[in-house]
């Protein structure tokens, strides 16, 4: 029972009207959730959209549709409102049925059936294997991974992919940097270096230190009894290609390990080196077809005038080296050749100028530029209690992703990265993300789940300690989900407006999944968790504090009071709470954030200022 379901129902009604000749349009209706309670549960603007083609007044069409819909078994009321909306209110027992579906789906609630479309390739992170990932990469990683999970939940077939720039100048610099550090540890000082391009982070020292034990240097190290392995390696000189390979392999492994920690995984990794292997014939073919040409010793691809590009672009420099643009282009073509219908890329926002060039390049190749969709992820500013944390890249002194995860944990890292749309800047408050209090949104969401679990645990305890009157035990067992159909919980037992509203909220998860996948905006799932958690917390507190109507009987009740308790209502609410929990779990699963059964209260308690 969600907007998609209602949409089908409205479409049927429209079809009926058409068959009877009351309407002629073939406009497909769109149904949305209402913002305001008084407008019912769902609304459609079909009448206003169709009005022009029908050449009728919107309200007249709306009246026809409303009359048709009000006959349906699931519809309580169908009313014409405003300029021509049809507002629908769904019957209470239809909500209860909807929750049964959610409970049957359990952990996988929110997942949509497969669309059967061509698979989607999502390429993200793809940071050069020349150093550890930093915080900005982390955001791209989490957004990309959540997007992959989201698209899968929405029934798409998705492959997550990492592209390694393991060729070209950047990695040559890494190889040279390894040599520089070898030289340093051998001679106690850096060799004379005429430029600033080498990588001077501490991780390179580690690479240099471990190089001697790497198998690919065995010929040198084993034959170096007198001078020592370090000297043997240093003698290879700064341009030794094995330094590059070695450095890349080590960095790749380290980057993948960091991402795995963050629960980010890839189905496929592509190496630029392997792409470059076929680049010669590819571009000479283009040259033969006059899609590329030589000028001043360089090879240019004809992209001028396409996708807003104002000049042709170099694919091979006059020094003979292929540009990254050339291999990137070939790589995207390669992905299309592998059968992907859509190529989604996640880039740092500073690369946005590259998008038109990529599109133009694809167009020049005769490919559909629209197949490549680029999501730009904006900057992350780290703060601690409102104060900016310095992230100077100078001398390799910047905050790595590993350090961030060490500091605040995987769940908080992921959650915070998903609290903003990808294209807006993000302030990441490290202090807040660590706090075990409710102004920390991660904590709030996880606590909400733990609380749902606590209620169900207590319900189970009541049953197991036999404090529930004998004849009513099957009912409670049903509410707790221990049986299915073992007892009938009357739909009317869950009749409060708040309960109905919350049912509507939780059953909207499949709609949110569909919409978020369509928009490529995983952050919406996090908003859903927040909304649902908050709605339940409000309900839970209000029921008890304001209405003296708790979900479970208070602990102090004696046996006669328990006998008089309304167990039917309790069973209905427990079932409903399980449905809420299924929705929270389903949503957190898409975000890749854990849903803990309990929060340990132990540490951190109070230790404010003691001054």
Partner RNA sequence: GCGCCCGUAGCACAAUCGGAUAGUGCAGCGGAUUUCUAAUCCGCUGGUUGCAGGUUCGAGUCCUGCCGGGCGCACCA
According to DSSP, residue 114 is labeled: -
Q: Where are the alpha helices (DSSP H) in 398-555?
A: 401-408, 410-417, 430-434, 441-464, 473-479, 497-507, 509-519, 523-545
Q: Is 318 in the site for RNA (CB under 7 A)?
A: yes
First to last CA, the chain: 56
The reply on whether position 436 binds RNA by CB under 7 A is yes
Q: Is 501 in the site for RNA (CB under 7 A)?
A: no
Gyration radius of the chain over CA positions: 31
Beta-bridged to residue 237, according to DSSP, are none
Site for RNA in 246-305 (CB under 7 A): 295-298
Instruction: Identify any residues that bridge with 299 across adjacent strands, giving them in sequence order.
Output: 294, 316
Determine the interface stretch with RNA among 17-25, 207-215, 311-319, 579-587 (rule: CB under 7 A). Answer: 311-319
Strand partners, 376: 347
- Please give the size of the binding site for RNA, defined by CB under 7 A: 97
- Tell whether residue 123 is a contact of RNA (CB under 7 A): no
Q: In the range 71-110, which residues lie near RNA by CB under 7 A?
A: 81-85, 87
What's the rounded Cα separation, in Å, for the pair 207 and 254? 11
Angle at 31 between CA 28 and CA 33, to 5 degrees: 170
Number of other CB atoms surrounding residue 439 within 10 Å:
8
Residue 85's φ and ψ, nearest 5 degrees, are -70, 150
Contact 532, 511 (CB under 8 A): no
Query: Minimal distance in Å, beta carbon 595 to RNA?
Result: 12
Give the span between the Cα atoms of 261 and 357, in whole angstroms: 34
Q: Which is nearer to RNA, 32 or 119 (by Cβ)?
A: 32
Residue for token digits 């009448």?
47
* Least distance from RNA to the Cβ atom of residue 19, Å: 22
Element (H or E) spanning 63, and its range? Answer: helix 58-69
Is residue 398 near RNA by the rule CB under 7 A? no
Number of neighbours of residue 385 by Cβ within 10 angstroms: 9
The answer to whether residue 34 forms part of the interface with RNA (CB under 7 A) is yes
Sites for RNA among residues 518-537 (CB under 7 A):
521, 523-524, 527, 530, 534, 537
Work out whether 388 is an interface residue with RNA (CB under 7 A): no
43 forms part of the interface with RNA (CB under 7 A)? yes
Helix (H) or strand (E) holding 184: helix 169-187
Cβ(486)–Cβ(560) below 8 Å:
no
**Looking only at residues 546 through 605 of this chain, which bind RNA when binding is defined by CB under 7 A?**
546, 549-552, 554-556, 598-601
CB 355 to RNA: min, Å: 7
Could you say which residues in the range 166-205 bind RNA, by CB under 7 A? Answer: 168-170
Lay out the sheet containing 31-33: strands in order across: 31-33, 42-44, 85-90, 75-81
Q: Minimal distance in Å, beta carbon 89 to RNA? A: 11
CB of 482 to RNA, least distance (A): 19
Q: Closest distance between RNA and the C-beta of residue 315, in Å? A: 9
Segment interacting with RNA (CB under 7 A) among 139-147, 208-216, 389-397, 448-456: 448-456
Which one of the spans 13-21, 117-125, 161-169, 387-395 is the region binding RNA (CB under 7 A)? 161-169
In this chain, which of 30, 212, 391, 563 binds RNA, going by CB under 7 A? Answer: 30
In angstroms, what is the minimal distance from the CB of 147 to RNA? 14
**Interface with RNA, residue 445, by CB under 7 A:** no
What distance in Å separates the CA atoms of residue 132 and residue 297, rounded to the nearest whole number? Answer: 37
User: What residues does 270 pair with on adjacent strands?
Assistant: 163
- Pair 551, 570: CB distance under 8 Å: yes
User: How far is 584 from 589, CA to CA, in rounded Å?
Assistant: 8
What would the x/- binding string for RNA be over residues 346 to 385, using CB under 7 A?
---xxxxxx-x-------------------x-xx------
Q: How big is the CA angle at 388 (ends 382 and 393), to the nearest 5 degrees?
A: 70
Region near RNA per CB under 7 A, out of 66-74, 179-187, 335-343, 420-428? 420-428
Among 223, 538, 564, 566, binds RNA (CB under 7 A): 538
Give the one residue of 393, 541, 561, 564 binding RNA; rule: CB under 7 A. 541
Closest CB to RNA among residues 292, 426: 426
- Among the listed residues 19, 35, 55, 189, the single contact to RNA using CB under 7 A: 35
Q: Quick one: which of 224, 323, 334, 594 contacts RNA (CB under 7 A)?
A: 323
Out of 308, 366, 486, 492, the only residue in the binding site for RNA (CB under 7 A) is 308
Q: Which is nearer to RNA, 229 or 522 (CB)?
A: 522
| Chosen residue from 194, 290, 439, 608 binding RNA by CB under 7 A | 439
């Amino acid at each position: 029972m969600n907007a998609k379901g209602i949409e089908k129902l409205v479409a049927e009604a429209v079809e009926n009207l058409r068959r009877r000749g009351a309407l002629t349009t073939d406009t497909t209706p769109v149904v949305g959730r209402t913002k305001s309670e008084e407008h019912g549960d769902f609304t459609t603007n079909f009448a206003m959209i169709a009005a022009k083609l029908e050449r009728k007044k919107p309200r007249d069409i709306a009246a026809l549709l409303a009359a048709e819909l009000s006959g349906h078994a699931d519809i309580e009321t169908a009313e014409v409102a405003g300029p021509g909306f049809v507002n629908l209110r769904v019957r209470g027992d239809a909500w209860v049925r909807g929750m049964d579906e959610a409970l049957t789906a359990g952990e996988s609630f929110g997942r949509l059936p497969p669309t059967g479309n061509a698979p989607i390739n999502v390429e993200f992170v793809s940071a050069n294997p020349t150093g550890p990932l930093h915080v900005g990469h982390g955001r791209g990683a989490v957004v990309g991974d959540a997007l992959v999970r989201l698209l899968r939940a929405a029934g798409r077939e998705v492959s997550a992919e990492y592209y390694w720039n393991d060729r070209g100048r950047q990695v040559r610099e890494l190889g040279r940097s390894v040599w520089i550090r070898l030289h340093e540890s051998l001679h106690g000082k850096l060799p004379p270096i005429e430029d600033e391009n080498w990588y001077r982070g501490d991780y390179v020292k580690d690479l240099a230190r471990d190089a001697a034990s790497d198998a690919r240097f065995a010929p040198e190290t084993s034959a170096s009894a007198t001078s020592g392995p370090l000297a043997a390696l240093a003698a290879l000189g700064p341009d030794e290609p094995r330094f590059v390979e070695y450095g890349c392999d080590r960095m790749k492994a380290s980057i993948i390990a960091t991402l795995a920690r963050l629960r980010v995984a890839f189905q496929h990794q592509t190496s630029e080196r392997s792409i470059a292997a076929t680049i010669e014939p590819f571009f000479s073919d283009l040259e033969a077809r006059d899609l590329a040409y030589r000028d001043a010793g360089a090879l240019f691809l004809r992209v001028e005038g396409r996708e807003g590009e104002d000049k042709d672009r170099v694919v091979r420099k006059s020094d003979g080296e292929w540009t990254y643009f050339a291999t990137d282009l070939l790589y995207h073509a390669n992905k299309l050749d592998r059968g992907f219908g859509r190529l989604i890329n996640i880039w740092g926002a500073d690369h946005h100028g590259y998008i038109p060039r990529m599109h133009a390049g694809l167009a020049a190749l005769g490919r559909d530029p629209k197949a490549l969709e680029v999501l730009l992820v904006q900057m992350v500013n780290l703060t601690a209690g409102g104060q900016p944390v310095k992230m100077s890249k100078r001398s390799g002194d910047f905050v790595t992703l590993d350090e961030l995860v060490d500091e605040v944990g995987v769940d908080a890292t992921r959650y915070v990265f998903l609290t903003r749309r990808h294209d807006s800047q993000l302030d990441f408050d490290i202090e807040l993300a660590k706090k075990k209090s409710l102004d920390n949104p991660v904590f709030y969401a996880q606590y909400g789940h733990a609380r749902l679990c606590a209620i169900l645990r207590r319900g189970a305890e009541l049953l197991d300690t036999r404090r529930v009157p004998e004849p009513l035990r099957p009912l409670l067992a049903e509410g707790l989900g221990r049986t299915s159909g073992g007892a009938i919980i009357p739909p009317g037992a869950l009749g409060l407006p708040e309960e109905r509203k919350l049912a509507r909220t939780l059953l909207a998860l499949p709609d949110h999944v569909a919409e978020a996948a369509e928009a490529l905006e995983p952050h919406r799932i996090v908003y859903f968790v927040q909304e649902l958690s908050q709605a339940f917390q409000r309900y839970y507190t209000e029921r008890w504090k304001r209405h003296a109507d708790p979900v479970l009987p208070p602990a102090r009740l004696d046996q006669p009071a328990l006998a008089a308790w309304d167990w039917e209502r309790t069973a209905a609410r427990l079932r409903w709470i399980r449905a809420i929990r299924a929705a929270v779990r389903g949503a957190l699963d898409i975000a890749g954030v854990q849903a803990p059964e309990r929060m340990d209260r132990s540490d951190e308690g109070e230790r404010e200022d003691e001054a």
